[in-house]
Chains A and B, each alone.
Chain A
């Protein structure tokens, strides 16, 4: 192997590692999209904005000299609470009007929070310090930071937690029942409104966590939700929207693909590659990689 090829391979490995980190963040945000879609079949365009609000609150908490742990908890809580309010005030009344009005409402909510964010937090980007003291390890030509490992571990922990929650707790079983068949779950005595609120809270809180973890790679600004939210949403669709492991799979595929293309080809095609994968998946298997195909009943 020539010297050049070896360097090329090292580069690939480095992009792979960066991609896994990025993918973890996409996965965390994608989980919220997928959980909400799974339960009420709504593409919650405002999910990215929940993340932005969480990250903003976290930023102010740090500026008020709160420790990182407190800031993260505050970020998660504020994201979650905003999500509950939005669901209660906006989404719940629209739920019966059909899917397209609901989708449009979600887009409206998303835009509202983007402008709201610009007016209240200011359009200037803000930085959150990394969630722990950064240490960089070098292996040959590649570098890994403890933050990257931390992000991966936290994501895996969240996934494990959700798996446990949905399979072994009463709440989780009620969530699954509601997602299979909402009216039937209601007839079985499940308080579906409560389940939906909880799902919104959980999804948004995880997004808020994602927003805080991102602090070390990107800055916090009012439009971050749109950029990140769109990618996370694409991840959810690629993996199979409504399916929790699908969100993670989609997130990693996108994260890795983006970093590979940006690193090896041209960074301005970074966004293009996610949409390209999206279209490819939609055309080959519209229900996503892990999704089941369903047919309309006549």
Chain B
């Protein structure tokens, strides 16, 4: 039972994470490869609060504060990194965010307060499956509403054509920074949930490889598709576990499934399962 619960927890956290990255990569078209860094900052900062300075109030209130702290600290990192980096384009932005993601992790690793390379232990178990899915639902709702507003249209226009968007009155810097910051902040919330369900954090949870895993979820479902990110998070969290039970060679080789899937997907359907559309969406149907 615990095992299934754990997978369910991870699915919920990854839904939030993949949606948060989708806002940056899929909606705004700004290629970020350092998302695990924001996830880590949210996890560690919220845990610092609950371990060292919890308020003398009931646990749920502390947890709410921890979520807010997770959001704010990651969003702040998003601003600090976004302001200088977002004038870079394409490959260069990807490289810069990769670098920043690693720097965040190295800073965590060198911070004795949070256990450094040994990991951060004794984090209170204040979040559970309900927290995880309540937040995931709110984030889905948030993204759906954002997509169908002037904010969403401006962000998507930047992905489609920066120069045209700017000439139609979209302030590029503002909207890029907005999606980068909010995306980072939402990843921070996912981090806070991760910290308070797992009760243990280790710098190796937040490496470049994990940025790639989140990215695969987004791409698999379709950059710019909310339903795509949800499907991506569910599918790619569960598949490796299912394959684990297949036993023998398949179980052994299951980690190579991710990269092969990614390559095949890029070759066969680079826009992902849903493209930029939503599940069962009529709007935008190709006539």
Interface residues in chain A, defined as those with a beta carbon under 8 Å from any beta carbon in chain B: 41, 43, 90, 93-94, 97-105, 107-112, 115-116, 118-119, 230, 233-234, 237, 266, 268-269, 271-272, 275-276, 278-279, 282-283, 286, 296, 298
In the bound complex, do residue B95 and residue A107 qualify as a contact, i.e. CB atoms below 8 Å apart?
no
Tell me if B51 is interfacial: C-beta within 8 Å of chain A.
no
Residues in chain B near residue A100, CB distance under 8 A: 31, 90
Residue of B nearest to A272 (CB): B106
Q: Provide the bound-state CA to CA distance between A230 and B98, in Å.
A: 10
Question: In whole Å, how far is A67's beta carbon from the nearest beta carbon of chain B?
Answer: 34
Question: Do residues A115 and B110 form an inter-chain contact, with CB atoms below 8 A?
Answer: no
- Given A268-B109, A269-B106, A286-B88, A94:B95 Cβ within 8 A: no
Q: How far apart are the CA atoms of A237 and B262 in the complex, in Å?
A: 25
Q: Tell me how far the C-beta of B33 lies from the nearest C-beta in chain A, rounded to whole angstroms.
A: 8
> Could you tell me the distance in whole angstroms from the C-beta of A45 to the nearest C-beta in chain B?
9
> Considering the complex, which residues of chain B in the window 243-287 have a beta carbon less than 8 Å from any beta carbon of chain A?
252-253, 255-256, 258-260, 262-263, 266-267, 270
Chain A, interface SS category: helix
Q: Could you say which of B109, B252, B262 contacts A107, with CB atoms under 8 Å apart?
A: B262
The SS class assigned to the B binding surface is: helix
Tell which of A108, A233, A266 touches B259, judged by Cβ atoms closer than 8 Å. A108
Do residues B92 and A282 form an inter-chain contact, with CB atoms below 8 A?
Answer: yes
Number of A-B contacts (CB under 8 A): 111
Rounded to whole angstroms, the CA-CA distance of A6 and B208 in the bound complex is 41
Query: Please, which residues of chain A bring their CB within 8 A of the CB of B129?
Result: none
New contact pairs (11) apart from A268-B109, A272-B103, CB-CB < 8 Å: A97-B266, A101-B266, A103-B31, A104-B219, A109-B263, A110-B259, A111-B262, A234-B99, A272-B102, A282-B99, A286-B88
- Cα A111 to Cα B255 in complex, Å, equals 9
State whether the Cβ of B215 lies closer than 8 Å to any Cβ in chain A. Answer: yes
A-B pairs with the 5 shortest C-beta distances?
A108-B262, A112-B259, A275-B99, A111-B259, A272-B106
- A62 to B191: give the CA distance in the assembly, Å: 46
Q: A115-B255, A115-B259 known; A94 and B102 CB under 8 Å?
A: no
Cα of A283 to Cα of B262 in the assembled complex, Å: 31
Q: Which of B90, B99, B209 contacts A278 (CB 8 A)?
A: B99
Instruction: Name the CB-closest residue of A to B249.
Output: A119
Cβ-based interface call for B58 (8 A) = no
Q: What are 23 A-B residue pairs whose CB atoms fall within 8 Å in the complex?
A: A43-B94, A94-B267, A97-B266, A99-B90, A99-B91, A100-B31, A103-B91, A104-B219, A104-B262, A108-B262, A111-B209, A115-B259, A230-B102, A237-B95, A268-B106, A268-B117, A269-B110, A272-B110, A275-B103, A278-B96, A282-B85, A282-B92, A283-B84
CB distance from A277 to the nearest CB of B (A): 9
> Residue on A with the closest CB to B260?
A112
Chain B residues closer than 8 Å to A99, beta-carbon distance: 90-91
Near A by CB (< 8 A), chain B positions 165-217 give 208-209, 212, 215
**In the bound complex, CA of A278 to CA of B214 (Å):** 24
**A94-B266, A97-B266, A271-B102 given as contacts; is B96 within 8 A of A109 (CB)?**
no
Does residue B107 face the partner (Cβ distance < 8 Å to A)?
A: yes
Residue among A43, A107, A111, A298 making CB contact with B91, cutoff 8 Å: A43
A298:B260 contact, CB within 8 angstroms: no
- Contact between chains at B96 and A108 (CB < 8 Å): no
Alpha-carbon separation in the docked complex, A135 to B60 (Å): 65
- Whether B92 lies near A286 (C-beta < 8 A) is yes
Q: How far is the CB of A41 from chain B (nearest CB, A)?
A: 8
Within the complex, what minimum Cβ distance (angstroms) separates B130 from chain A? 34
A279 to B9, CA, bound (A): 35
- Please name all residues of chain A whose beta carbon is closer than 8 Å to the beta carbon of B258 when the two chains form the complex: 108, 111
Chain B 72-108: CB-based contact to A (< 8 A → 1; otherwise 0): 0000000000001100111110111001101100110
Within 8 Å by CB of A279, from B103, B215, B266, lies B103
Given contact pairs A94-B266, A268-B110, A269-B106, A103 touches B94 in the complex (Cβ within 8 A): yes
Give, as a whole number of angstroms, the nearest-CB distance from B170 to chain A: 16
CB neighbours of A94 from chain B (8 A): 266-267, 270
In the assembled complex, B64 has its CB within 8 A of some CB on chain A = no
Q: B225 CB to closest chain A CB, in angstroms?
A: 16
Find the A residue at minimum CB distance from B213: A111
Q: Is B242 an interface residue (CB 8 A)?
A: no
User: CA of A85 to CA of B262 in the docked complex: distance in angstroms?
Assistant: 18
Q: B163 on the interface (CB 8 Å rule)?
A: yes
